[in-house]
């Protein structure tokens, strides 16, 4: 896992995401997902830029079926931005870095 990006699972989701005192981005992904792999370096770069103000996390949907199910995730990658425990933004698919930056800025 890249520096600054926390791997979370069904058991740590509540404490790491819903109870966090800063905005949190959750990257719902799987190792076999091509678009997820393509998005990964972009997320790492954003974690380097915004990591002091936003917590960056990844949740493997194959290993953790409960959390993606709770949020109705049907395709990956899906990025959900949480603020104060609520969904603030949701992006599905591999998108441009500028779109991710806009979503991050909207939750800050």
Catalytic residue IDs: 33, 36
18-50 burial: b if 16+ Cβ within 10 Å, else e: eebeebbbbbbbeeebeebeebbeebbebbeeb
Please measure the distance between the N-terminal and C-terminal CA atoms of the chain and give it in whole angstroms.
24
Separation of alpha carbons 27 and 85, rounded Å:
16
Torsion sign across C-alpha atoms 37, 41, 47, 50? negative
């Amino acid at each position: 896992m890249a520096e600054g990006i926390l791997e979370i699972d069904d058991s740590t989701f509540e404490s790491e995401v819903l109870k966090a005192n800063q905005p949190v981005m959750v990257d719902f992904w799987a190792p076999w997902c091509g678009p997820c792999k393509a998005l990964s370096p972009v997320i790492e770069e954003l974690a380097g830029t915004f990591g002091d103000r936003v917590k960056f996390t990844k949740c493997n949907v194959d290993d953790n079926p409960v959390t993606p199910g709770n949020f109705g995730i049907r395709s990956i990658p899906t990025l959900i931005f949480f603020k104060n425990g609520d969904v603030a933004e949701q992006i599905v698919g591999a998108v441009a870095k500028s779109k991710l930056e806009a979503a991050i800025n909207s939750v800050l």
